[in-house]
Amino acid sequence: MLNKKKAPPDPKQSKILSPKNGLDNFRLGFGMSPKCPAVYLKTFGCQMNIRDSEFVTGLLLDDGFRMVDSPEAADVIIFNSCSVRKHAEERLFGNICDLAGLKKKRPGLIIGLMGCTAQNYKDEALTKAPMLDFVCGTGNEKDLPQLVGDILKDRCRIVAADKVNEKKPEPMPEYREGTFKAYVAIGEGCDNFCSYCIVPYVRGRERSRRAEDIIKEVKDLAVRGFKEITLLGQNVNSYKLTANRSPLTAKTSDFVRLLEQINSIKGIERIRFMTSHPKDASVELFKAMRDLDKVCEHLHLPLQSGSDRILNKMSRGYTQKKYLELAGDYKKTLPEGSLTTDILVGFPSETEKDFKATVMVMEKVGFDSAFTFKYSPRPPARSCALKDDVKSEVKEKRLKTIIDIQCKISEVRNRALVGKTLEVLVDGHGGRDPHKLTGRTRTNKTAIFSGDGKLTGRSVNVKIGSVTPYALLGRMA
Ligand code: 5AD
Ligand code: SF4
């Protein structure tokens, strides 16, 4: 049942609606329109957001809506938004405000916000962006077709953001963006409450999907010809097979059991997963990555900072020493594997000494690549109580320094692959050079080479001839 909140009275009259039947309302109200309402859905953010957009698209299609790929062609425009970093959120609200002209021309146009930002701002989003007609929180996404149908019929503003801890209904709609690579969520939410992070607030408490549901989804994908799946969770290592896992069971074990089961599904060629939290990742996981043939040799293990003082303030639950040991164990177990990370500079009170510790860990570990970020306070995350005292120029300088360092390290790591022949799953044309094919190695590196577009979705062998920090250049072997 939709639980709708009354939105602020202006600029349009608000209304609380009783739950009705989605698009049927629209059809009844408007007399069975021969034209299904067209929806344009724009996604900002991480893989989880991309997967949520697929989920919602599936629901909308099942409910009789049609999807279009331009805002101009749409009756309904939805933004699925990320709020992990301030920059992404600013871009989002900029994009919504850019629609003011279109909305003026076509007052019937419906504009909505879903995802983390919707969950975070709730009613306030309607004030921040007055052209918004609805706000749909992360746990209310399953009700989205009904919500849109109600607005189309009754022309009111709706805020539905009261179900942050809810699980998605099973089975999920079949709709997928791709044809050979798919994201499969194994859980939602996060219980870690890293002090800088908004995720636990906007995605709720950690809840694992039932293994049977995950396995069924992957089997169905395999039957449909999907070859690569990426298992998604805020912290996959704390996946739970049962709601009440024994405290004696090592955290990673349940996830490893899940990997074993998925590894035996016929048709699937590659299994990836993200993200792993260093406090929960273990040698047991690395051994599974080594021994399970379909599990790719790539680990994303966010470091965030190399300074124990900052890690402690971030509530990350590990030390520099523990991280270095873990990275060492990974490299020992999977010498050919790749290791990538996230690094956050400019956390409150970060000194030059703290920053140097981060650089030291980067150089010692030798990451294959790193996503690098400047800290921004994200209310209601706990770090907002700390003064954001690292000057913006200092953050900028530190960011540039680690980008440059990582660039060099990445190139060295890639150079070691020259002369090797690697298996590449072809993504198709569409890189910088439209005549070339791009694809990913098992270690998740981008390979660029000449070939026929018909190879898209197939695995080929590529001999690496040269490299850049960001890609391997080669020819088909
Ligand atoms: N400021 C900057 N970066 C952040 N991240 C998470 N929260 C913040 C924040 N408040 C980064 C972390 C995380 C990645 C997904 O985003 O590095 O791993
Ligand atoms: Fe955020 Fe930490 Fe959870 Fe990752 S593990 S989603 S950084 S709270």
- Residues 106-164 pLDDT 10s: 989 999 999 999 999 999 999 999 999 999 999 999 999 999 999 988 889 999 999 99
Homologous superfamily of domain range 421-476: Nucleic acid-binding proteins (2.40.50.140)
Q: Is the CB of 194 under 6 A from ligand 2?
A: yes
Candidate from 14-18, 293-297, 402-406 with smallest mean pLDDT: 14-18
Q: What is the pLDDT of residue 250?
A: 61
Q: Residue 333 Cα, ligand 2 centroid: separation in angstroms?
A: 26
Give the CATH number of domain 2-160; options: 1.10.10.10, 3.40.50.280, 3.10.580.10, 3.30.70.330.
3.40.50.280
Residue nearest to atom 4 of ligand 2 (CA): 234
Q: Across the chain, what does the average pLDDT equal? A: 91
Q: What is the pLDDT of residue 249?
A: 64
Please give the full DSSP string across 114-159, using - where no structure is assigned.
EEHHHHHHTTHHHHHSTT--EEE-GGGGGGHHHHHHHHHHH---EE
- Ligand 1 atom closest to the Cα of residue 378 is 10
Q: Which residue has the higher pLDDT, 30 or 207?
A: 207
Say whether pLDDT at 15 is over 50: no
- CA–CA separation, 201 and 190 (whole Å): 9
Residue nearest to atom 7 of ligand 1 (CA): 197
Q: What is the pLDDT of residue 434?
A: 79
Domain covering 178-296, topology: Transcription Regulator spoIIAA (3.30.750)
Q: Which ligand sits nearest to residue 304's alpha carbon?
A: 1
Q: What percent of the chain has pLDDT over 90?
A: 82
Q: Is the CB of 74 under 6 A from ligand 2?
A: no
Where does the pLDDT of residue 2 fall: very low under 50, low under 70, confident under 90, or very high at 90 and above? Answer: very low
Homologous superfamily of domain range 319-375+384-415: tm_1862 like domain (3.80.30.20)
CATH 3.80.30.20 domain position(s) in the chain:
319-375+384-415
Ligand 2 pocket test, pick from 194, 202, 232, 236 with the greatest ligand atom count within 8 Å of Cβ, gives 194
Q: Which residue has the higher pLDDT, 28 or 285?
A: 285
Q: Which ligand sits nearest to residue 188's alpha carbon?
A: 2
Cβ atoms of residues 308 and 320 within 8 Å:
yes
CATH 2.40.50.140 domain position(s) in the chain:
421-476
Q: Is the CB of 234 under 6 A from ligand 2?
A: yes
Where does the pLDDT of residue 17 fall: very low under 50, low under 70, confident under 90, or very high at 90 and above? Answer: very low
pTM: 0.92
CATH 3.40.50.280 domain position(s) in the chain:
2-160
Cβ atoms of residues 410 and 402 within 8 Å:
no
Say whether pLDDT at 314 is over 90: yes
- Residues 424-448 pLDDT 10s: 999 999 777 878 999 999 999 999 9
Q: Residue 73 Cα, ligand 1 centroid: separation in angstroms?
A: 35
CATH 3.30.750.210 domain position(s) in the chain:
178-296
Q: Which residues pair with residue 339 across a beta bridge?
A: 299
Q: Is the CB of 57 under 6 A from ligand 2?
A: no
Please give the full DSSP string across 58-110, using - where no structure is assigned.
HHHHHTT-EE-SSGGG-SEEEEEE--SSHHHHHHHHHHHHTTHHHHHH-TT-E
Where does the pLDDT of residue 33 fall: very low under 50, low under 70, confident under 90, or very high at 90 and above? Answer: very low
